[in-house]
Amino acid sequence: MGSLRGAFRQLLWAFCRRRPSPVLYRELGHPRPPRASPADTNHRQRRRRNSGHRRGPRRVVLGAVRKLPHSPRARGPGHPLHRVRAQAGRVGARGRTPGRTRSAEGRVRGEAAPARERSDRRHGCPAQGASHRAQWICAGTPANFRGSRRIVTHAGTTEGLPSFSHGVHPEEHKGATESLPIERMPFVSHYVLPLAQHIGRPSKCIVRPGQHVQRGERIADPNGFVSTALHAPVTGTVEAVELRPHPNGKLAESIVIAIDAFASQEMQEPQKPEGGAGGPNGSSRIDGFVRRVQEAGIVGLGGAAFPSHVKLQVPEGKKVTTVVLNGCECEPYLTCDHRVMLEDADKVVRGMRLIMQQLGAAHGYIGVERNKSDAIETLRAALSQNDSQNDSQKGSIEIIALQVKYPQGAEKMLIDAVLHERVPAGGLPLDLEIVVHNVATASAIADMVENDTPLIERVITVTGDGVRRPANVVVPLGTPIAAVLEHCGGLKPEARQVILGGPMMGVAQKELDVPVVKGTSGILALTQPQRVVGEQPCIRCGRCLDACPMFLNPARLAQLVRNERAEGLLSHHVMSCFECASCSFVCPSHIPLVHLIRVGKAMARKVAVP
């Protein structure tokens, strides 16, 4: 009996050593549990840190979640990261980052550091450049460049490369088209050109029914600064100016052109724009260049269709030091930007140079996801060729390989990934002296300057298991999607859904006579609708929080929408949501979060602007 009691006591002692409990200690006749020594406490903390433990339920989003330790300053001078930073001349005696005028990089006193370098300093990156930072993270060094933010890693080949926080890893589905060269779509009989093809005010129609127009001729003028021109994609006759179905699901005023079957389809002779030739050379012709981009109808070709000239006009009192080109193409299925980077790499680099020259930016970065390694190599080769041909060019351009993650192509996420800088909520990249363009937009700008070509066609990806012959196609704007699908062999009988754009942010179409517009990056035909499981109640798993790249609470937002609490939506920053659908993608209850949030944004707009 005595030995049994002894064994029980020993067991209790062992338990108490792990978890000191005053109740157990009292039972054992001790006044209070012994205090843990500082060494033990530190060790436990270290273990907690290294094991990735954190308070609350553990949430893993499509990969390992690591909680990295706090800043090197908090770790003190003994911390390895602190030592390396000190060697790099980036920390003071007490771990503080030295002021701007104490330049260890040999920069002139008072001169602003480039955005990437500034950010590296802030986050404690021991050396400039993504590769160094990647090595540190790969090596498991306790280097937290982002304070207490968790870093979501993907158990794939891209782990360790730079990226943004949160996000998801949808299946890529790019294999069907990523190796197919861009082909040209033959002309069809009719083209429908909505006047609203960009963000901002719709263009102003300047043609009337019965008028003959030539390919490349302007048919609509910009209607204000945030608006662009529109050009005839073919030589033909204006048949009507009327309401036609738009890819956004509404009816929109559109110009219908019937092709002239006997015309040669030569481009119209370029007209000299008002305000000079408009080369971006830092002279008084800069305004001419911006106007020229506007009159060429160039918009962001990544999908948002924001007028590009607006981003090329630096407002009074602002400046741009860094240009970032988006070559991520993070949407599953789409490969049009990938093909542009492969087939027009030199044009992308020339377009980048023109944009940098126009904005006076000294630093340029092209962010490309690692799953497009051939594009990274091609761009690097084009860049070195461009540099060797033009020794006098100002500004440096770097190609940055990024992790494969969605929605990395979004402006703010790309800046976070490439430059490790956060655009403040409600702010613009311009607030950080950064401007972001798409690789296809840069190529279009180079085309405009070198060949006087307005935006009358674009590359799109036609793909999905519901289409017979997936392809990357150059399509004249205004071509009905039914004609494009027909060019690609037509739809399979089992096709159930056609989406314009990618599966995450694209818009499902109810009819196939809507046209390809400037923002159309792909036509996706699926054999089954994306959602086949019914909606279930929220189980409070928190996956949507972990996925949201804007650090919103999608579950709470959805609840507020259902309760029609518009003020609550505003206080929960519903307007910061850019509808990437990452939250809907990860929700195990299949709650249509992004759709609810879209409704919530409309409700919040009504309250904000009564």
- The nearer residue to ligand SF4, 127 or 541, going by C-beta atoms, is 541
Q: Which amino acid type is present at position 103? A: S
Centre a 10 Å sphere on the Cβ of residue 346 and count the other Cβ atoms it contains.
18
Span 274-293, contacts to ligand SF4 by CB under 6 A:
none
H/E element, 595: helix 593-608
Whether the Cβ atoms of residue 461 and residue 335 lie closer than 8 Å to each other: yes
- The nearer residue to ligand SF4, 311 or 601, going by C-beta atoms, is 601
Whether the Cβ atoms of residue 169 and residue 63 lie closer than 8 Å to each other: yes
Among 336, 383, 577, 603, binds ligand SF4 (CB under 6 A): 577
Two structure tokens written together for 350: 């020339």
Cβ-in-10-Å burial (0-12, 13-18, 19+) of 136 comes to buried
Smallest gap from residue 417 Cβ to ligand SF4 (A): 16
- The nearer residue to ligand SF4, 235 or 582, going by C-beta atoms, is 582
Smallest gap from residue 581 Cβ to ligand SF4 (A): 5
Residue 583 binds to ligand SF4 (criterion: CB under 6 A): yes
To 5 degrees, how large is the angle CA 175–CA 178–CA 179?
105
Q: How far apart are CA 401 and CA 417, in angstroms?
A: 10
Q: How far apart are CA 493 and CA 52, in angstroms?
A: 50
From edge to edge, which strands make up the β-sheet containing 230-231? 204-205, 218-221, 230-231
Two structure tokens written together for 46: 């270290």
- Which region, judged by CB under 6 A, interacts with ligand SF4, from 7-15, 32-40, 494-502, 581-589? 581-589
DSSP 91-152: S-TTSPPPPTTS-SS-PPTTPPPPHHHHHHHHHT-SSSSHHHHHHHHHTT----TTTT--EE
Among 156, 175, 209, 588, binds ligand SF4 (CB under 6 A): 588
Smallest gap from residue 538 Cβ to ligand SF4 (A): 3
- The nearer residue to ligand SF4, 490 or 592, going by C-beta atoms, is 592
Among 201, 226, 573, 578, binds ligand SF4 (CB under 6 A): 578
Q: Which amino acid type is present at position 529? A: P
Among 73, 82, 133, 543, binds ligand SF4 (CB under 6 A): 543
Q: Map residues 159-198 to x or -, x wherever contact with ligand SF4 holds by CB under 6 A.
A: ----------------------------------------
What is the β-pairing status of strands 457-463 and 522-526? Answer: parallel
Span 522-541, contacts to ligand SF4 by CB under 6 A:
538-541
> Which one, of 6, 34, 5, lies nearest residue 21 by Cα?
34
- The nearer residue to ligand SF4, 351 or 554, going by C-beta atoms, is 554
- The nearer residue to ligand SF4, 561 or 587, going by C-beta atoms, is 587
Q: How far apart are CA 363 and CA 12, in angstroms?
A: 64
Q: How far apart are CA 23 and CA 111, in angstroms?
A: 63
Residue 482 binds to ligand SF4 (criterion: CB under 6 A): no
DSSP 163-215: --SS-B------TTTTTSPEEEPPP-SEEEEES--SSSSPPEE---TT-EE-T
- Which region, judged by CB under 6 A, interacts with ligand SF4, from 246-254, 292-300, 456-464, 571-579? 571-579
Smallest gap from residue 425 Cβ to ligand SF4 (A): 12
- Which region, judged by CB under 6 A, interacts with ligand SF4, from 132-140, 148-156, 375-383, 549-557? 549-557
- The nearer residue to ligand SF4, 411 or 457, going by C-beta atoms, is 411
Whether the Cβ atoms of residue 590 and residue 548 lie closer than 8 Å to each other: no
Q: How far apart are CA 51 and CA 60, in angstroms?
A: 14
- The nearer residue to ligand SF4, 177 or 584, going by C-beta atoms, is 584
Span 413-452, contacts to ligand SF4 by CB under 6 A:
none
Among 88, 103, 579, 595, binds ligand SF4 (CB under 6 A): 579
Residue owning tokens 């790099």:
88
Torsion of CA 26, 27, 29, 30, to 10 degrees: -40
Among 115, 336, 581, 603, binds ligand SF4 (CB under 6 A): 581
Q: Map residues 79-98 to x or -, x wherever contact with ligand SF4 holds by CB under 6 A.
A: --------------------
- Which region, judged by CB under 6 A, interacts with ligand SF4, from 259-267, 391-399, 587-595, 601-609? 587-595
Smallest gap from residue 604 Cβ to ligand SF4 (A): 13
Handedness of CA 579, 583, 586, 592 (dihedral sign): negative
Smallest gap from residue 299 Cβ to ligand SF4 (A): 22
C-alpha separations of 251 from 233, 456, 476 in Å: 21, 22, 21
CA distance from start to end of the chain:
81
Residue 597 binds to ligand SF4 (criterion: CB under 6 A): yes
- The nearer residue to ligand SF4, 36 or 425, going by C-beta atoms, is 425
- The nearer residue to ligand SF4, 252 or 410, going by C-beta atoms, is 410
Which parts of this chain interact with ligand SF4 (CB under 6 A)? 538-544, 547-548, 550, 552, 554-555, 577-583, 586-589, 591, 593-594, 597
